[in-house]
Structure 1
Amino acid sequence: MRFTSINPASEDVVASFGEMDPKDVHDMVGRAYTEQKIWAQCSFEHRARIVSRLADILMRDIEVSAALITQEMGKPIGQSRSEILKCAETCRYIAALAPTALATEELLIDGSVADITYAPLGVVVAIMPWNFPFWQFFRFAAPALMAGNGIILKHAPSTFGCAINIVEVCREAGIPDDLVQCVMIDVPQIEELIGDARVRAVTFTGSTRGGEAVAQIAGRHIKKVVLELGGNDAYIVCDDADLGVAVDACVVGRCLNAGQSCIAAKRFIVHASIVDEFTKRVAARFDAMVVGDPMDPATEIGPIARADLRDTLLDQLQHSMMEGARQVTKRSVNDIPKRGFYVPPVLIDNITTQSRLFREEVFGPVASVIAFNSDEEAVELANDSRYGLGAAVFSQDLDRARALAERIECGMVAINDFVRSDMRLPFGGTRYSGYGRELGVAGVREFTNIKVIRTK
């Protein structure tokens, strides 16, 4: 079997990769297992120097890596550069944070001394997605490496070129060759990889369906799993919101990376007294956005990453329109470059809570608007989803906004801003959006065995 990377802007083949032999994968795990035992004995200072060096290499090669991201998945080049910059900043931050976050804690209990220690789990399989091919890896890898773990990276086939580049960056930074390796395999081999006794944990970022499968496999083998899955983020815009602030945040929150983000704004839940003005302003902003070549610095919306993903998005849109939804924006989905997997920003209203655009994760620059009349109704609409990743609330009454935020069942809520990941804060969700956390102190400790040593 061969895996093909296709440029979503031109539809040209970027590269082709052959599937690895099962024996080669087995041997790679063995080498990672051996190397991890050595890495775990290294001091925090040693690990921190190398993880900090990752930042230096990433920044030195930012143009090469950013161009590769854009070539393989279509992100506008400026956003690709920002992704690499964020990876570098996170490596530096985690390298400084981890020694304190993982330090032994001493407690005096009933005349005895109890030490709470954080030991690495071992080799972690990282199954990563295509939408942020560098960021998704490094936000997991920097904490995992600082904790003393080894990594087997299985990236999305459409971004295998990014996976190779990531491993090269790691090796040039001084990470031992066998400690971080990437495999190019399909589903049957993934099951074997997770089941390997030398693998102690799995982290998966991707679809809820994929997360269910990974969790089932890991569960059979009693292995730690972190799942960062889909989202259907609701942005509640109250009647007292600063409409300019709300519109700006909703547009960016929906359209960054062409809307291909688990934490992108999906549903705009707007008070009935301002919904018409809000809809008018957002539609105008959507219609003005530049859709085109992602290598052009002026481009704001690049292509959808793959043809099948574009087709799914258009199917969701068409299905909802057949049920009575109305397109508010002027640009037709056919009014786009003829070559490439493009979809322009689309704003939809007149939807119901049973519409696919309301119920499903929408991975592209398509947003829906639905009105509410009371705060109670707004919360009910926001929670009327199987997902629970992020949300936002817009109100000039911060007590009101905070009260709403506390009632939304999700992992992260932004007030008067769009949802974003931050290296200093734990990132993750609940419900069908997964479990476990990345980043912050919680992320640094996620792939550790919390061991108590009590001395009488």
Structure 2
Amino acid sequence: MTKMIQCISPVDGRVYAERAPLSPEAAAASVARAKAAQGAWAARPLEERIRLVQAGVANLNADKDRIVEELAWQMGRPTRFGGEFGGLNERSNFMAGIAAEALAPMVVEDSGTFARRIEFAPHGVVFVVAPWNYPYMTAMNTIVPALIAGNAVILKHASQTLVVGDRIAEALHKAGVPEDVFQNIVLDHSGTEKLIADRSFGFVNFTGSVGGGQAIERAAAGTFTALGLELGGKDPGYVMEDADLDWAVDTLMDGAMYNAGQCCCGIERIYVNHKLFDDFVEKAVRWVNTLKLGNPFDAETTLGPMANKRFAATVRAQTEEAVAAGAKTLIERQNFPADDGGAYLMPQVLVNVDHSMRVMTEESFGPVVGIMPVKSDEEALALMNDSPYGLTASLWTQDQDRAWNIARKIDTGTVFMNRADYLDPAICWTGCKDTGRGVGLSKLGYQSVTRPRSYHFRKVKA
């Protein structure tokens, strides 16, 4: 009997949605249809592909009320935040706007003797394995440029956000993107790995855990399939003695706590110059105590449940271990009565922490942050680089030259100054070390969903 793929709602623990995974034969047939349809799609004018994809994004916006409610049920985000439409629209519009320039041929010579150029050809079929934490934005980061570049796309969404794939497919098909050109399918792990191992795709984009990324790489081994992998993170913030303290507290704590801490580039550890440390911690505690943990449908709720009780269990375990090793918790349990020991998890700020504790070195992906004092840029830099991950880092200072000097020594994909937890679509989204490899967004994002093809024509004269 086929085991169903289920979304267990963190709101009340019930099965919110379930789907049967495709059989190997049905999955292979989906790939075959995508390959058959891709050529005609790529042959359409670029302007037409852009128009249809943008119409699909517009259809998602028109469905906002239903989508926001479904997101709360699936992964717990409070409805007061209105979903992901700000980021979704910004990124989609930007990538559509730069498509003609990003995909334009690189002409080396066009003379009476030679035509030499590089063009950017679609891979063919792009496979998007999307995560649950920002299920629309992260999926569309690849879907939009992949379709615009002339690829067919097959989406496999996370089990926690099963319905999101349905909504994206509905929106794009209603806009006129052919059903075989964009497909949303449901697979289990073995089905996903089999398709990759069978060389079904020209490019695979995966966003998820380090373990998941390793499984993707193993499945692709020997196939020479191009991979984009955005994996774990343990993103640091460093507050220098000349920082705007209130702005730093507000931004960093929001980066640590928004979406119940379930953000790829969320702030998970903070290093503060010892001169500001006490003031920063006092203000951070005050900031966190303004949050309200509760039902995501309550208009007053600013912190919903984590997407799954097992994710909350990981954060609780890291926190308890840190406390047993000498860390101090600063947020009182009585301030957050909605913490039920399951998916509803109170936020926490820790001091007296160090890098012997998992909470400062392993990804938490929840509403907890450790704060450490430092005495120098060198100490802060060593601590920021003491991590297996490298997605973003956030520097807080009014001295731009100082920030440049530190930034270029941090092993990470993106460095912010005086901001955090943001994806600028004009700047490539990338990581290093165990955070993975590959590039999304920006002009470079189009290079991920295409391959260069060179032409060297000698013009024969009569």
**What is the DSSP-based 3-state SS (H/G/I as helix, E as strand, rest coil) of the residue aligned with 1:15?**
strand
Partner of 2:417: 415
Q: CA deviation at 1:274?
A: 1.1
Query: For residues 386 and 337 of structure 1, what CA distance do their matches in structure 2 show?
Result: 31
Query: For residues 402 and 10 of structure 2, what CA distance do their matches in structure 1 show?
Result: 43
Q: Does the CA contact (< 8 Å) of 2:273 and 2:374 recur in 1?
A: yes
Aligned residue runs from structure 1 range 280-291, under 5 A: 280-291=282-293
Structure 1 residue identity aligned to 2:194: E
Aligned residue runs from structure 1 range 80-229, under 5 A: 80-81=82-83, 83-108=84-109, 112-229=114-231
Partner of 1:450: 452
Aligned residue runs from structure 1 range 23-422, under 5 A: 23-81=25-83, 83-108=84-109, 112-331=114-333, 335-338=337-340, 341-422=343-424
Q: CA deviation at 1:427?
A: 0.7
Q: Does the CA contact (< 8 Å) of 1:139 and 1:423 recur in 2?
A: no
Per-residue CA distance 1:397-425 (angstroms, 9 max, x = gap): 12112211221110111101113112222
- CA RMSD in angstroms, aligned pairs only: 1.7
Per-residue CA distance 1:103-148 (angstroms, 9 max, x = gap): 1111139974421100000111111111011111111110111111
Q: CA deviation at 1:80?
A: 4.3
Query: For residues 127 and 242 of structure 2, what CA distance do their matches in structure 1 show?
Result: 47
- TM-score for both structures, normalised by structure 2: 0.95
Q: Does the CA contact (< 8 Å) of 2:123 and 2:202 recur in 1?
A: yes
Q: Does the CA contact (< 8 Å) of 1:237 and 1:269 recur in 2?
A: yes
Residues 1:246 and 1:334: Cα distance change in structure 2 (over 3 Å) = closer
Structure 2 residue identity aligned to 1:100: E
Query: For residues 407 and 306 of structure 1, what CA distance do their matches in structure 2 show?
Result: 36
Higher mean C-alpha displacement, 217-226 vs 5-14: 5-14
Q: CA deviation at 1:336?
A: 2.2
**What is the DSSP-based 3-state SS (H/G/I as helix, E as strand, rest coil) of the residue aligned with 2:333?**
coil
**What is the DSSP-based 3-state SS (H/G/I as helix, E as strand, rest coil) of the residue aligned with 2:37?**
helix
Structure 2 residue identity aligned to 1:450: P
Q: CA deviation at 1:273?
A: 1.2
Query: What 5-or-longer segments of structure 1 have no aligned partner?
Result: none
Query: For residues 241 and 94 of structure 2, what CA distance do their matches in structure 1 show?
Result: 39
Structure 1 residue identity aligned to 2:217: A
Per-residue CA distance 1:325-377 (angstroms, 9 max, x = gap): 11022236973254861112100011111110111011111000111111111
Query: What 5-or-longer segments of structure 2 have no aligned partner?
Result: none
Q: CA deviation at 1:84?
A: 2.6
Q: Does the CA contact (< 8 Å) of 1:133 and 1:159 recur in 2?
A: yes
Query: For residues 406 and 332 of structure 1, what CA distance do their matches in structure 2 show?
Result: 43
**What is the DSSP-based 3-state SS (H/G/I as helix, E as strand, rest coil) of the residue aligned with 1:288?**
coil
Structure 1 residue identity aligned to 2:89: A
Query: For residues 249 and 294 of structure 1, what CA distance do their matches in structure 2 show?
Result: 22
Q: CA deviation at 1:283?
A: 0.9
Identity percentage over the alignment? 32
Query: For residues 380 and 254 of structure 2, what CA distance do their matches in structure 1 show?
Result: 22
- TM-score for both structures, normalised by structure 1: 0.96
Q: Does the CA contact (< 8 Å) of 2:429 and 2:439 recur in 1?
A: yes
Query: For residues 271 and 86 of structure 1, what CA distance do their matches in structure 2 show?
Result: 32
Query: For residues 49 and 114 of structure 1, what CA distance do their matches in structure 2 show?
Result: 30
Query: For residues 80 and 429 of structure 1, what CA distance do their matches in structure 2 show?
Result: 28
Query: For residues 330 and 370 of structure 2, what CA distance do their matches in structure 1 show?
Result: 10
Q: Does the CA contact (< 8 Å) of 1:125 and 1:201 recur in 2?
A: yes
Corresponding residue to 2:19 among 17, 20, 33: 17
Q: Does the CA contact (< 8 Å) of 1:228 and 1:434 recur in 2?
A: yes
Structure 2 residue identity aligned to 1:107: V
**What is the DSSP-based 3-state SS (H/G/I as helix, E as strand, rest coil) of the residue aligned with 2:221?**
helix
**What is the DSSP-based 3-state SS (H/G/I as helix, E as strand, rest coil) of the residue aligned with 1:393?**
strand
Q: Does the CA contact (< 8 Å) of 2:313 and 2:342 recur in 1?
A: no
Query: For residues 15 and 388 of structure 1, what CA distance do their matches in structure 2 show?
Result: 34
Higher mean C-alpha displacement, 58-67 vs 263-272: 58-67
**What is the DSSP-based 3-state SS (H/G/I as helix, E as strand, rest coil) of the residue aligned with 1:199?**
coil
**What is the DSSP-based 3-state SS (H/G/I as helix, E as strand, rest coil) of the residue aligned with 1:57?**
helix
Q: Does the CA contact (< 8 Å) of 2:57 and 2:171 recur in 1?
A: no
